[in-house]
Amino acid sequence: MTEQAVSIWRIAITFNHIALASFGGGLSAWSRHMVVEEQRWMTEEEFLSAMTVCRVLPGANQVNLAVFVGAKLRGAAGAIVAVVGLIALPALIVLVMGAVYIANRGQPSVQAILRGMTAAAVALSLSMAWKTGRACLHSPPAWALFGAALLAAAVLRIPLLPLLAVLVPLAMWWAWPSRATQ
């Protein structure tokens, strides 16, 4: 599908589908599946680059991604419909579910449901990490940066901003285009 052929309606429906088919950390995995595999609007590398930029920018990652993809496909109108598709119906569902939760939060079954949802979100996040890692980690420096980020964040619990302050310059130096041509 060419970028010009993507309708505003298709963008809105796709982002609504992304929002309604996943939750929590799994949203990135489902976004990747829909944008890269189903719609083929981006390559694996384009998606990973876009997701990286969206995570560094202020705001919600998935909203940033919706703006990025929508704008890539149809400019400002595409960005707007992607965001509306992503948040309108889910916002209504969250308001209703919040009211139901407040009324029933002490029930053991509600707590069990939340634990199950947490497990599913973690599994979806691991799935995305696995798929994008297989597609993009093709060199020892890429693996070293991945390992350093994982160790620093998961084991050493280094906050995001100091971690980015160190690893982003290293990653940029490694990936700088002039190095590839030398």
Rounded average pLDDT over 115-126: 84
Percent share of the chain, pLDDT over 70: 93
pLDDT digits (tens, 9 = 90+) for 82-93: 999 999 998 999
Rounded average pLDDT over 37-61: 92
C-alpha 8 chain-centroid distance: 21
Q: State both tokens at 154.
A: 């998961």
Whether 179 has a pLDDT exceeding 60, the answer reads no
Of 16-30, 51-65, 132-146, the one with minimum mean pLDDT is 16-30
Whether 26 has a pLDDT exceeding 90, the answer reads no
Q: What's residue 180's pLDDT?
A: 52
Alpha-carbon gap, residue 132 to 136, rounded angstroms: 6
Query: Which residues lie closer than 8 Å to 34 by C-beta, 6 or more apart?
Result: 14, 17, 18
Mean pLDDT computed over every residue of the chain? 88
pTM for the model stands at 0.61
The residue length of the chain stands at 182
The crossing angle, in degrees rounded to 10, of helices 160-175 and 140-150 is 180
Who has greater pLDDT, 134 or 151? 151
Whether 2 has a pLDDT exceeding 70, the answer reads no
CA angle 29, 112, 34 (to 5 degrees): 15
Residue 54 · residue 77 · CB < 8 Å: no
Rounded average pLDDT over 46-66: 91
**DSSP-assigned letter for residue 57:** S
Residue pointed to by tokens 């990286």: 52
Q: What's residue 28's pLDDT?
A: 84
Rounded average pLDDT over 54-60: 89
